[in-house]
């Protein structure tokens, strides 16, 4: 083995990391935890080797993550291979994804015992997420050469039934998100190619198992595609047998960062922390050249090697849009000239209408990004910024540290990988609402344009012809409701987080009422925009959870909702409504919500409204649509 390149790389990376860790230590010691965290995470990449990841993890242990505003998350790892080394790395990448994670490890090889014993340490830890971290080494799936389809199907069905038994028990007993694993294919097999080509081969069986697991997955179960990570890492490197023999490590220790990063992005998606909007520069990002100088015929798009690379990048961006990512353009350009490419260039895949917001001017990009976030009613931490110009990226990084910035390589053929690899848009599921989301935001931009014509807010709201539909936790809306409760921060009165399974269980209780609100207007359907969870407590109706999508702020949905709560309280024979407000780092927006509707503060969190009291200031411009049949009225 050539010794010197390894050493040189290691030494170079080591010295830069050493300097960073010294700065992190200093910042931590002075109580500047947020600064320490951003310094530490800036150096962190999925490909970082384990030695450096371990040093990162040690530094992270000294940082107060709650003080950095990260969201608490309790994760339990269950495996029959060694993961002690992996837990601190997972915590590191979960911090990068926005979580202050507490990770518990069940004792080695106690997966079934931990899940099946209701008194196990697993349940005492009250996990939010249980990760059944299986690998192909756990699966005894094997058939004699030449075995038939019936044997094969029976073996797969038995293996899947084992997993379902674990899922069912976990969902019943812990009400948490279950993360199970699509296992990886081993690099080597005595049958070689035939292991994949013969129906009884080991690789063929594992592929079939993974496919069957994906079909069997239920609500509340998310599958982590470990096989994809192993393939990206390289299967021969992944199967690092020496650590398996030494200490039962099931995969290469240096792949820990890649696995932890992918899992953390998936959990971010499952918990509503995925990015929502892709902000794109135009010149040399979506086409080669400068439209203002080179003209429509001169820019490189379509024909020629790098013209094709730009088309491929546009195709990838359009596919993101079709799965629910909102697109915005942010370019130093004349607006008409820039828009002409999307209107008139025959090889432009993206059309002008694909952008929910189109900003082309000569202002600085940090200001423009703020403006884009405001117009879309999104936080800056929902944006991903893509620009070929390193100076623009640097300005945005420095002025808007919340915005995720993608480092494009010089060669446009590397753009797709550069945008895809960080996993900003990972999602645990795909719903019809996701496909429609872009349209909601484009409609919102149209509403903004109309609003500027009205001086009188009431006249504007009246002109929207808003209609709300109220429903319960039916199977169609349940995932979206859990998603909204999980991802809402600003308009979330109590900060509760209910997963799908938990929400369904609560909705079934006689002393709980769960409602969702959908809103439509003359510009289009806004989809599901608010959720309520109300608890009946004697003569009181307690508002346990009230969340609303911030894209409908200022549309009198709040007044409509408080009226709805009052109607439910009356129907249930309650005398009072008790609104609850639990302050968080992000929900200052609704600190005075109950006061605005005439509730009286009873204690630190509770606000009371007597149903006999007058309802001044409850004006809403929203009509209620005839109620659909509710399963739990």
Distance CA 87, CA 260 (A): 9
Closer residue to another protein (CB): 88 or 499: 88
Distance CA 97, CA 172 (A): 28
| Binding span for another protein by CB under 8 A among 44-52, 392-400, 533-541, 583-591 | 44-52
> What is the footprint of another protein within residues 410-429 (CB under 8 A)?
none
Distance CA 184, CA 191 (A): 17
Candidates 23, 50, 290, 316; binder of another protein (CB under 8 A) is 50
Candidates 29, 51, 66, 305; binder of another protein (CB under 8 A) is 51
Nearest distance in Å: CB 3, another protein: 3
Candidates 12, 16, 29, 58; binder of another protein (CB under 8 A) is 58
| Per CB under 8 A, 524 contacts another protein | no
Axis crossing angle, helix 86-96 with helix 50-61, rounded to the nearest 10: 70
Closer residue to another protein (CB): 247 or 595: 247
Nearest to 529 by CA among 521, 519, 520: 519
> What is the footprint of another protein within residues 66-95 (CB under 8 A)?
84-85
Closer residue to another protein (CB): 246 or 374: 246
Size of the site for another protein (CB under 8 A): 27
Nearest distance in Å: CB 492, another protein: 38
User: What would the x/- binding string for another protein be over residues 2 to 41, using CB under 8 A?
Assistant: xxxxxx--xx--x---x-----------------------
Closer residue to another protein (CB): 236 or 246: 246
Candidates 38, 45, 49, 232; binder of another protein (CB under 8 A) is 49
User: Is 616 exposed, middle or buried, given 0-12, 13-18 or 19+ CB atoms closer than 10 A?
Assistant: exposed
Distance CA 454, CA 340 (A): 30
Nearest distance in Å: CB 267, another protein: 23
156 contact partners, CB below 8 Å, separation of at least 6: 141, 205, 208, 209, 212
Helix (H) / strand (E) containing 44 = none
| Per CB under 8 A, 379 contacts another protein | no
User: What would the x/- binding string for another protein be over residues 246 to 275, using CB under 8 A?
Assistant: xx-x---xx---------------------
User: What would the x/- binding string for another protein be over residues 224 to 243, using CB under 8 A?
Assistant: ------------------xx
278 contact partners, CB below 8 Å, separation of at least 6: 317, 320, 321, 325, 326, 327, 328, 383, 384, 386, 425
Nearest distance in Å: CB 41, another protein: 19
Distance CA 438, CA 319 (A): 12
Nearest distance in Å: CB 8, another protein: 9
Nearest distance in Å: CB 486, another protein: 33
Candidates 32, 54, 290, 312; binder of another protein (CB under 8 A) is 54
Closer residue to another protein (CB): 108 or 430: 108
Closer residue to another protein (CB): 3 or 391: 3
The dihedral built from the CA positions of residue 603, 606, 607 and 609, taken in this order, carries a sign that is negative
Closer residue to another protein (CB): 4 or 603: 4
User: Quick one: how far is CA 189 from the chain centroid?
Assistant: 37
Please list the residues that pair with 180 across neighbouring strands: 223
109: which 2 tokens? 């090889």
Residues in the chain: 633
Candidates 124, 150, 245, 616; binder of another protein (CB under 8 A) is 245
- DSSP, res 496: -
**In the sheet where 71-78 sits, what is the strand order?**
99-105, 71-78, 129-132, 177-182, 221-225
**C-alpha pair distances (Å), 172 with each of 127, 166, 179, 340, 539:** 13, 10, 15, 56, 31
Closer residue to another protein (CB): 7 or 374: 7
Binding footprint of another protein on the chain (CB under 8 A): 1-7, 10-11, 14, 18, 49-51, 54-55, 58, 84-85, 242-243, 245-247, 249, 253-254
């Amino acid at each position: 083995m050539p010794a010197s390149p390894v050493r040189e790389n290691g030494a170079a990376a080591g010295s830069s990391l050493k300097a960073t860790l010294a700065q992190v230590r200093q910042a931590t010691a002075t109580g500047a935890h947020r600064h320490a965290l951003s310094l530490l995470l800036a150096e962190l990449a999925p490909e970082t080797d384990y030695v450096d990841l371990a040093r990162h993890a040690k530094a992270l242990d000294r940082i107060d993550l709650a003080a950095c505003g990260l969201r608490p998350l309790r994760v339990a790892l269950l495996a029959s291979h060694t993961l002690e080394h992996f837990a601190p790395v997972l915590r590191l990448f979960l911090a990068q994804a926005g979580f202050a994670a507490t990770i518990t490890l069940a004792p080695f090889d106690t997966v079934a015992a931990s899940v099946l014993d209701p008194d196990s340490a697993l349940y005492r830890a009250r996990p939010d997420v249980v990760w059944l971290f299986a690998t192909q080494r756990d699966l005894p799936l094997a058939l004699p050469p030449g075995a038939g389809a019936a044997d094969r199907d029976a073996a797969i069905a038995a293996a899947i039934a084992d997993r379902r038994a674990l899922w069912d028990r976990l969902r019943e007993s812990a009400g948490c998100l279950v993360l199970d694993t699509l296992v990886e294919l081993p690099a080597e097999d005595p049958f070689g190619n035939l292991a994949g080509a013969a129906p009884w081969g080991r690789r063929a069986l594992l592929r079939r198992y993974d496919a069957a697991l994906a079909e069997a997955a239920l609500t509340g179960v998310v599958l982590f595609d470990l096989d994809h990570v192993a393939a990206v890492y390289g299967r021969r490197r992944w199967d690092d047998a020496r650590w398996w023999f030494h200490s039962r490590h099931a995969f290469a220790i240096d792949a820990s960062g890649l696995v932890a990063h992918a899992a953390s992005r998936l959990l971010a998606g499952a918990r509503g922390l995925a990015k929502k909007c892709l902000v794109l520069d135009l010149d040399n990002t979506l086409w080669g050249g400068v439209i203002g100088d080179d003209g429509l015929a001169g820019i490189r798009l379509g024909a020629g090697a790098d013209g094709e690379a730009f088309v491929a990048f546009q195709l990838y961006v359009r596919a993101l849009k079709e799965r629910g990512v909102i697109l915005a353009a942010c370019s130093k350009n004349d607006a008409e000239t820039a828009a002409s490419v999307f209107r008139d260039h025959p090889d432009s895949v993206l059309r002008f209408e694909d952008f929910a917001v189109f900003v082309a001017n000569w202002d600085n990009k940090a200001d423009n990004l703020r403006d884009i976030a405001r117009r879309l009613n999104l936080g800056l931490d929902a944006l991903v910024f893509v620009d070929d110009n390193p100076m623009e990226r640097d300005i945005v990084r420095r002025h808007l540290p919340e915005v995720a910035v993608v480092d494009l390589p010089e060669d446009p053929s590397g753009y797709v990988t550069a945008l895809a690899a960080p996993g900003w848009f990972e999602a645990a599921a795909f719903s019809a609402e996701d496909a429609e989301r872009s349209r909601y935001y484009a409609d919102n931009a149209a509403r903004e344009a109309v609003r500027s014509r009205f001086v009188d807010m009431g006249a504007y709201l009246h002109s929207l012809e808003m209609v709300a539909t109220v429903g319960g936790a039916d199977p169609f809306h349940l995932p979206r409701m859990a998603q909204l409760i999980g991802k809402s921060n600003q308009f979330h009165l109590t900060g509760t987080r209910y997963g799908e399974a938990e929400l369904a269980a609560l909705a079934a209780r006689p002393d709980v009422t769960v409602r969702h609100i959908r809103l439509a207007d003359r510009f289009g359907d806004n989809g599901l925009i608010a959720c309520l969870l109300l608890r009946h407590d004697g003569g009181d109706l307690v508002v346990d959870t009230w969340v609303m999508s911030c894209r409908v702020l200022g549309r009198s949905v709040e007044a409509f909702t408080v009226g709805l709560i009052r109607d439910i309280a009356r129907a249930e024979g309650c005398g009072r409504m008790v609104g609850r407000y639990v302050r968080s780092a992000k929900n200052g927006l609704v600190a005075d919500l109950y006061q605005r509707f005439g509730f009286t503060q009873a204690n630190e969190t509770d606000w009371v409204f007597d149903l006999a009291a007058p309802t001044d200031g409850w004006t809403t411009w929203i009509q209620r649509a005839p109620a659909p049949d509710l399963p739990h009225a």
